[in-house]
Chains A and B, each alone.
Chain A
Amino acid sequence: MNYTCSNCGGSFDVPETVSVVTCPYCGLTVNIKVGKLDFEHYFYPAIYDAQTAYGRLKSILSRQFGVPKGFSDQINLMGRVLHYIPLYLFYVEGRSKGGQEVLEVEYVALPALKMLPVPIPQGYSFPVRGKIYFKPQIVKDAKFYSPTVSIDDLEKIARARVYNRFSRELDLAGRGLEAKIESRCEGLVHYPIWEFRYSYLNYQFNGFVDAVNGEVLYGQYLVSTMHRTISMSLGVGLIFAGAIIGLISGLALSAPLIGLIGGVPPAFAGAIPLFMRGAYKVQTYTLKVFGTYEREASLGKEIIEAVKFIGRIPI
């Protein structure tokens, strides 16, 4: 089906299955069945321009382990695109009716595309910075995407996300409770993400930067031969160290073989990340959503739990 934009006059093809479309030229979003939009539509302006965003990408790549010296100064920018990704925002509320109170609420933002042109990390929350109403002048030179997933399908996904936690809490509160999950669409947001294509020696890479908060989502880089050799040697060295330490502690208690068996497997586990770094010349940086800090805190907690559990085992 062909549709002509009422704002810029551009015409484009629209799949039969969707009703909300975004003009790829100017970004105007309408419900083509009713001629307007039945919920709010916003844009996030790209706060980080191409140059600053590219600078952010380079600075993140330069701090990676094993990146060749001067990598960020020597890469050539080959192309860039500002992608505007459609996201639907939902409010989902699960509530028990009468009797015991059980409550679960969440705001969920879901990309409305079947195939995402940009790698958005799982669980990525979209940041706090001003969104604005549609203005044709702020949105030129960008690539707009019409939602290709219907709002109903996405709403089901949003509800399912809350359902899992809600049903567990319902079960714990008591059987036979009547409950209901309600949801509503809070609007459509077009969200900007920069894509950069760059080359180094004979290699071509790409990287993605959130244009609202400058967060680098994804970036490829090269690991120098020297660093690959170092990581490989460290990995091998760790395995040997594990074997020797195992052997020594085994000998101390006059069971060398058992000591060896105990020392080697952890050494292999520790060497995996080192071998991974050494095995591939092209490496990928991806944003860790929950942050290293939180992961370490939760790992620490799990270790304490495990130690507590060991204490309960009969000797």
Chain B
Amino acid sequence: MSIVIQEFKCRNCGGKLDVTPETIMVVCSYCGTPNWFVEATEDIMVVPSMGRDDIVKSFLTRISEDFDLKRIADKIQIVEVRGVYIPFYFFSIKVEGFYEGWKTERVVETVGRRTQVKTRRKRVSESFSSILKIPVLARRSAEDFSLKELSSHYNYSNPPSIPIGDIKDFKNLKMSFLRSEIGVEEASVIARDDAGDMMLRKVSSKVDELTKFVCNTKIVEKSKLTLLPYWYIIYSYGNAQYRVAYAGWDCHLLLAQEPVMAYHRVGYILGAVSGCLISALGLTFTFVGGLNPIYSLFSLAAGCVVSWFFGGKVVEDVRIEGG
């Protein structure tokens, strides 16, 4: 069996183009003409991105203002800045249904001069109807650092988008476009599933035991394939490297990795000590005050969790900060 590799040529000058199954558009390296590899470019929307320099500027501003970073600003060096357009579909989905379950309630009852606190299991059932905005990443089995934050920031800030064919300045646009791997039909099935799961999580937190959950989903509105600009900067401090991710349309910080300094570690040690305090006070109060002994178990458990959590952080290599 022989392998046939199809060669693609620029429609303007005939120069050789480097095309992969991922390619939506490639700018000819000889003459600068954009060559499209999608049937209908009007079906793809692009959220215009700020330039590379704006992203770098925003990072430098953060270094000079951030409480932790400004102390080490002179030792920070930018190693890599990269921008990429990531394809998403956005759906508005109407979820309607109802749920049934059990909820435990505490009731105070006064009989004569005695006041009693009783717990009761109460049957709850409620119907719901709301509209959810669901993003679907149009790629298979793919999730990168902070893409979830990228789509939720898009939903929150709602930036304008333009048809991909309207982008003029291709030569200066130093970003790659990722092709979608999922059609709008498949994406809508995923979106309906996600909407149902989201509702299930929401009602599960309202009851102690869920016994019935019926949910119908209907797509109210679907967006065209939308390419969101995503930038990340890798910077070094000492010999180590850290990553910061930005939304390209407004330079909004999505997630940032930052070095753990000695004073953070001291803080974490104090956190671990506070776990001991929670537990010790809880136990003594329960004992001295003659409260339900189960409280002592809880304070012991809570103290252990807090202490173990901070103890682990003492030896951690990186901190994550959200935008």
Contacts and interface: CB of A to CB of B under 8 A. Distances in A.
B97 to A, nearest CB: 9
Nearest to B177: A130
Interface residues of B, number: 98
Interface string A289-315: 001110010010001011000111111
A270 B106 contact: no
A183 B255 CA distance: 35
Nearest to A133: B21
B193 A245 contact: no
Interface string B295-323: 11011111111111111101111111010
B35 interface: no
B37 to A, nearest CB: 12
B84 to A, nearest CB: 8
A258 interface: yes
Contacts, number: 269
Contact of B315 (A91, A259, A277, A315): A277
Contacts of B193: 103-105
A254 B84 CA distance: 64
B272 to A, nearest CB: 4
A258 to B, nearest CB: 5
Categorize the interface residue count of chain A: 35 or more
A229 interface: no
B158 interface: no
A293 B320 contact: yes
A290 B214 CA distance: 30
Contacts of A252: 284
Given A62-B240, A242-B276, A253 B284 contact: yes
B200 A169 contact: yes
B172 interface: no
Nearest to B178: A128
11 contacts: A130-B178, A186-B140, A238-B273, A242-B273, A265-B300, A266-B279, A266-B303, A269-B304, A292-B319, A296-B320, A313-B292
Interface of B: 1-3, 5, 20-23, 84, 86, 104-106, 117-119, 137, 139-145, 147, 176, 178-179, 186, 189-190, 192-193, 196-197, 200, 205, 210-217, 236, 238-242, 255, 259-260, 269, 272-273, 275-285, 287-288, 291-292, 294-296, 298-312, 314-320, 322
